[in-house]
Structures are given as structure tokens and as C-alpha cells.
DNA sequence: ACCTGAACACCGTTCAAGT
DNA sequence: ACCTGAACACCGTTCAAGT
């Protein structure tokens, strides 16, 4: 017996309604939670506040949602619905991979909290699957074998999520007053000669520039590192002789 | 006026001591917090529990630490002290980069919570700087220019942190009973043909195999994608004609 | 100056009733 | 069956005193 996924569960018949209160529903809960999340960040959202906004007590939420973690998963997938996968365009497959990931990044960066939530939550809803499907398709178009593509999609999505989350946490390396800047600026030339020498470089570049560069790194690396033995690997594996 | 970094602050003279209570200290607080973190995970650690273990009330902690976030930063840097940077060996620079990152990954994976903490905390203590310094050195040895290396180190460390955190959160893609496995196994061939076709591949590979593969991807990509215009870029930038 | 108990303003989750 | 107020067992942080 396996617990059913939260994405496919018997609907619940609300008993509220009429003129005073709109009926509760999983949808309404997710919508309100997402509103709070994107407006106030992860710490600014809570089950209790969602319940209060929906004019009920905290216990009522549990009729529609098992726990906070499940709510997170539902929220994330709802948000991922607006990621644009692009149609059949004339752009290169690389360009189209970039666009999908940029759209994904933009969705996560829409407000504080979403990216943070994405890092701690496994995205396995239908919309996450749609994104995975699309990226596999584009990589296939680029000649990446399925075995390699399967791992590559993981890598790409994880990286983008982490970058946006780091950034959204106010850890913007570019922020000149942040802890990062101060630490790097304060690194002594004696103890950390390279950090010191590279201090301007470490803090340079807009998020977009870094993102674009990172994608180039990934795609170049992926094309050159198939999982199946093949010509082109820069360094033969040499594990089993 | 800039607030001083928590890593360089006037020490506090404890007034406890004698036979009954060992004196409070920032060190003792960090040690106990780290013990709780690696034993019980991030959710299993709290300022109140640390205070209780140190035989005092929660308010006492605030004499040594500004807030929870600062404590997190101190804990992370303390943990990073045990990352092995390796000496001058005969191994390739690539191999040595791999070893440093593997050591970093192993330290974060030592117990639940540490990697999770690392994702939400900017690592800017002396030990984080040591690691950055070392990686810059190794990349330099590999012929990577400083401008490229500066961004590359960020990329590498962020990825490794994210992988370990994802893994430590029980989101192990390999776990056959996890939400990930169920979602992928349940992806219909009609709606998600490639996810369906790749379902075994998406779940395949030990964490170590994936890690090793990802590093190969990164290093191959980094070598091929210098930030300064140079021969070898697989696709000319063509932004300013 | 260090140290602390008590209070403040919150959490997620469960229980026991209501309809 | 849905819905809910109240209770339970927690949080981080601040205040106002103690030494």
C-alpha cells in the first residue's frame, strides 16, 4: 500500500458556501499561500496566516492538506505552471534550452521565497514533469543521448534553482554592502593572495551575465561528457581496464 | 559605519565558571549547536535547546551571538575547517580539484542539516575563504584564467552544496520509495514520453557516479568557456558585432 | 559587563467536539 | 463528511531586572 500522490487525490466536498463565506478548497488554500509567499517570503507565510486569511482556524487547513510539506509541493507545482516551454521556433536548440531555463528562473524569482521553497521541495508535480519532458526533448534535438540527458536535466535545473535561491536570499554577490562583499574585500593579500587578486572579479558580473556564462559551461560540458563511452571525452575514464 | 563581521569581534569575558558551571563562550555555543545539528538535523536544533544543554536560559545566547543567522554562519565555518585541501601531490590538477570538492561534500554530508544550512547561509568565514583560495590555485594550475576561475569556483561550490543538500533532505533520487521515484514511475507514456522512456535512467546511478560525472561536465565546460574572448569557445558570442 | 527568568508574539499539529 | 476552537508543545527574540 502506497500513499497516493497529493497531485491525484479524491476531491473534498466543501460545506461552506453561501453569501458569507466562500467555500474552502485546496485551490483556495494554495492560492492564498502562494500570495503570501511571493509577497512576504517563506518566513512571512504560515498555515495559520493562510487559515486566518480564509476566515477559519488553523485546523481547517488539514482537511485539504496533510501537512506543510505537502502544501509546499502543491504551491511549487502551481507556480511552475507558468514556466514557458516555447513552441517550435527557428532558434537553435541551445537557445531554446536557455529560454526555458530563463523562464524557469524568472518564475522562481517572481517574489521572495519561491526559489527558497523550490530548493527544499522535490518538484514532482505535473508541471515539473512537463519541464523535464521539454528539456529532454531539446537535449535530444541537440544530439545528447537519453542516458546523458536524464542526468543533464537534473544538473541544469538544480543549478538554476540554487542560483536563484542564493540570489533571492539577499546573498547577491553583487550587493556591495553584503556580507560576501565585505568578506572578500577584507581578505588579506598575505593569507588569501588569489582571493585578494580576484576580489573584483569574484564580485563582478550581473546575475544575467553569470547565468548565461554558466549555461554555456554546462552545455559545452554536457556535449563533451556523454555517459556512454564515445569519442570526444576529453579524458578517458580508465576505471575498468 | 559598517557592522563588524562575526568572525572578528571583541571577545566576551564570561562570568560563569567555578566547579558547577563551565563558563559560557561562543565556542561552546557553536560546538553544542553543531552537535545538535549533525545529530538531529536543522529542525532538531534550536537556540533554546542549545541554551538548555548549556544549562542556561535562551536569553544568555544573545550575549555571544547576535541572532540565529549569525550562529548559522559560525557553525558553517567551524564545520568547513575540516575540509581537506590536499598538499602538493603528483595527481593531476583535475584530480585534486575533485578531491577538494569531495572532501567538502563529505563534510557537508557528515550529518543531516549541515548541507541544508550551507544552502541558506553565505559562507564567508576564514575557512570558506581558504577553500576558495585553494580552488582558485588549482584552476590556475589547470590554465584557467583568474577571471574565469573566479566565477567557476562559485559554480562548483554552489553545485556541490546543492547536490548534497538535496540528497541529505531525503530527496535521494535513488530511493525507490520516495516521492521522486513514484512520480517518475507514474509518468504516463502519452503525456511524458521521454520522461517515461528515461524513467530508469533518471533514477539510475549512485550519488558518487553522478557527482563524478557532473565534475567532468563542469571542468570540460569551464576549460572551453573562458570569459575573455579566446580561441576554443564552441560558439562565438556574437553579441556585439 | 555578563547573565538570566519571564514575557511576547508567534509556529505546526492534534483533539474533541460540533454540524 | 466537513469544519472548527482550544489546547499542546514548541519556536526566536526582547525586557527588565539581577550580579
To the nearest whole angstrom, how far is the Cα of A20 from the nearest Cα of chain B? 39
**The predicted structure's pLDDT at residue B8:** 74
Inspect the interface and report whether the beta carbons of A234 and B220 lie closer than 8 Å.
Answer: yes
Q: Which chain C nucleotides are covered by protein, judged by CB under 7 A?
A: 1-7, 10-16
C-alpha distances (whole Å) from A232 to each of A142, A174, A220, B70 are: 15, 37, 12, 47
Taking a contact as any Cβ pair under 8 Å apart, which residues of chain A between 83 and 102 contact chain B? 94
Q: Is some CB atom of chain A closer than 8 A to the CB atom of B185?
A: no
Residue in chain B closest to A154 (alpha carbons) equals B202
Q: Which chain D nucleotides are covered by protein, judged by CB under 7 A?
A: 1-7, 10-16
Q: Is some CB atom of chain B closer than 8 A to the CB atom of A227?
A: yes
Question: Looking at residues A175-197, what average pLDDT do you find?
Answer: 87
Q: Express each pLDDT in A75-129 by its tens digit.
A: 999 999 999 998 767 899 999 999 999 999 999 998 888 999 998 887 889 999 9
> What is the average pLDDT value for chain B, to the nearest integer?
85
Query: Least CB-CB distance to B220: which of A119, A162, A225?
Result: A225
**The predicted structure's pLDDT at residue A204:** 81
- Does residue A195 carry a pLDDT above 70? yes
Rounded CA-CA distance B209/A38 in Å is: 37
- Does residue A16 carry a pLDDT above 90? no
Estimate in Å the CA A25 to C1' C16 gap, whole number: 23
Estimate in Å the CA B148 to C1' D17 gap, whole number: 57
Q: Express each pLDDT in A144-164 by its tens digit.
A: 999 999 999 999 999 899 888
Inspect the interface and report whether the beta carbons of A147 and B201 lie closer than 8 Å.
Answer: yes
**The predicted structure's pLDDT at residue B39:** 93
Whether CB of B56 is under 7 Å from strand C: the answer is yes
Q: Is some CB atom of chain A closer than 8 A to the CB atom of B62?
A: no
- Global pTM reads 0.86
Comparison of pLDDT for A182 and A190, the residue scoring more: A190
Give the DSSP per-residue string, chain A. --PPPTTS---------TTTSPPP-HHHHHHHHHHHHHHH-GGG--HHHHHHHTTS-HHHHHHH-SSHHHHHHHHHHHHHTT-----S-SS-HHHHHHHHHHHHHHHHTTSTTHHHHHHHS---SHHHHHHHHHHHHHHHHTT--HHHHHHHHHHHHHHHHHHHHHIIIII-TT-TTSHHHHHHHT--TTT-HHHHHTHHHHT-S-HHHHHHHHHHHHHHHHHH--SS--TT-SS---S--
Whether CB of B58 is under 7 Å from strand D: the answer is yes
Taking a contact as any Cβ pair under 8 Å apart, which residues of chain A between 122 and 181 contact chain B? 122, 124-126, 128-130, 132-133, 136-137, 140, 146-147, 149-155, 158-159, 161-163, 165-166, 169, 171, 173, 177-180
Estimate in Å the CA A9 to C1' C16 gap, whole number: 26
Q: Express each pLDDT in A29-79 by its tens digit.
A: 999 999 999 999 999 999 999 999 999 999 999 999 999 999 999 999 999
Whether CB of A170 is under 7 Å from strand D: the answer is no
**Could you say which residues of chain B have pLDDT below 50?**
1-2, 18-20, 230-241
Amino acid at each position: 500500500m502506497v500513499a497516493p500522490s497529493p497531485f491525484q487525490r479524491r476531491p473534498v466536498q466543501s460545506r461552506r458556501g453561501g453569501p458569507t463565506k466562500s467555500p474552502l478548497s485546496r485551490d483556495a488554500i494554495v492560492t492564498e499561500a502562494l500570495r503570501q509567499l511571493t509577497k512576504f517570503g517563506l518566513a512571512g507565510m504560515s498555515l495559520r496566516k493562510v487559515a486566518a486569511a480564509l476566515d477559519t482556524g488553523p485546523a481547517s487547513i488539514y482537511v485539504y492538506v496533510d501537512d506543510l510539506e505537502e502544501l509546499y509541493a502543491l504551491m511549487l507545482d502551481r507556480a511552475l505552471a507558468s514556466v514557458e516551454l516555447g513552441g517550435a521556433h527557428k532558434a537553435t536548440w541551445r537557445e531554446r534550452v536557455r529560454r526555458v531555463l530563463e523562464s524557469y528562473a524568472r518564475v522562481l524569482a517572481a517574489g521572495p521565497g519561491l526559489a527558497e521553497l523550490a530548493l527544499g521541495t522535490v518538484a514532482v508535480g505535473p508541471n515539473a514533469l512537463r519541464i523535464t519532458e521539454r528539456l529532454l526533448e531539446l537535449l535530444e534535438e541537440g544530439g545528447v543521448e537519453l542516458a546523458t540527458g536524464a542526468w543533464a536535466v537534473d544538473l541544469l535545473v538544480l543549478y538554476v534553482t540554487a542560483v536563484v535561491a542564493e540570489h533571492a536570499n539577499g546573498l547577491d554577490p553583487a550587493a556591495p554592502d553584503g556580507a560576501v562583499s565585505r568578506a572578500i574585500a577584507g581578505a588579506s593579500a598575505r593569507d588569501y593572495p588569489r582571493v585578494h587578486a580576484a576580489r573584483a572579479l569574484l564580485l563582478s558580473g550581473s546575475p544575467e551575465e553569470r547565468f548565461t556564462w554558466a549555461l554555456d559551461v554546462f552545455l559545452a560540458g554536457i556535449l563533451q561528457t556523454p555517459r556512454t563511452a564515445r569519442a570526444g571525452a576529453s579524458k578517458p575514464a580508465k576505471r575498468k581496464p
